[in-house]
Amino acid sequence: MPLLPVNGVRLHVEDKGKGEPIVFVHEFGGDWRSWRPQIRHFSRNHRCVAYNARGYPPSEVPDDEGAYGQDKATADLAGVLDALGIPKAVVVGCSMGAYTALMLAVRRPERVSAVVAASGGSGAATTQEQREAFKQDSLARAERMLAAGTANLPEFAAGPARVQLKRKNPGGFAEFEKQLGQHSAKGSAYTLRRVQTLRAPLYDFKRELGALAAPVLLVVGDEDEACLDVNVWLKRTIPAAGLSILPRTGHLVNLEEPPVFNRIVDSFLASVARNDWPARKLAA
């Protein structure tokens, strides 16, 4: 598919299959290709859309750092739906994409029929000191990317929540690293600076998430230390949320355990279709 104009940039969009639409939103270290195991599976019965965020070639890489930000990422997701004539969709996001999926659900609930938020919540912290540490680490990593001219920093690809993919599937990890090396250093660095660093932690959206009506499936690996606590909090906060914790699994849950991830999402979507994913009354 040619690049689609969305909110002043041109985005690469993949569109496969027919049926109820599912839109996949990638993580910081990935792109639309990270969802290939899911697209192959779900496109048998669904229209599957995946796109590269702004800053991720072949999508446009704006030179202006101000062209990046979480509000723009959320608007781009809605803009992809608009460009494809999709009024409402299931939104499946991983990490950075999970945050964007949840933000669309709270900002534009009429556009979202259900949410799968995998490995969401990186950078969420309960203290100002923890938030500042995440911010400074992200800014330093952005500087290293710009200086090295690559997004494929060794300490990122083989970090403590990503080595699980290398252990389970060395070939898949090599493919992940290759794709990471094809990303734009500038686009990735600006995304770190303007999206990851400046977005508010999910904890700041307790009221909005507590009012969310859409069915939500939370998926997290038990070795993804940065995301475990916040996903338990999300389970307690979102009325119609379910939480699935994958054992011996890190951040890249959909790539580490594709059959398990696909089966969990299949079961969730079947429950939603049967209207059997009720909200529960939360404690005051």
CA-only gyration radius of the chain, Å: 17
DSSP states of 14-39 as a string?
A: EEE--SEEEEEE--TT--GGGGHHHH
Burial degree of 16 (CB within 10 A; 0-12, 13-18, 19+): middle
pLDDT tens, the chain, 284 aa long: 679 999 999 999 999 999 999 999 999 999 999 999 999 999 999 999 999 999 999 999 999 999 999 999 999 999 999 999 999 999 999 999 999 999 999 999 999 999 999 999 887 766 778 888 888 999 999 999 999 999 999 888 888 999 999 999 999 999 999 999 999 999 999 999 999 999 999 999 999 999 999 999 999 999 999 999 999 999 999 999 999 999 999 999 999 999 999 999 999 999 999 999 999 876 65
What is the CATH number assigned to the segment(s) 4-125+201-273? 3.40.50.1820
- Going from N- to C-terminal start, the domains of the chain cover 4-125+201-273
Contacts of 184 (CB under 8 A, 6+ apart): 55, 56, 57, 61, 151
> β-strands 4-6, 9-11: how paired?
antiparallel
Q: What separation in angstroms does the CA of 112 have from each of 123, 139, 145, 157?
A: 25, 32, 34, 32
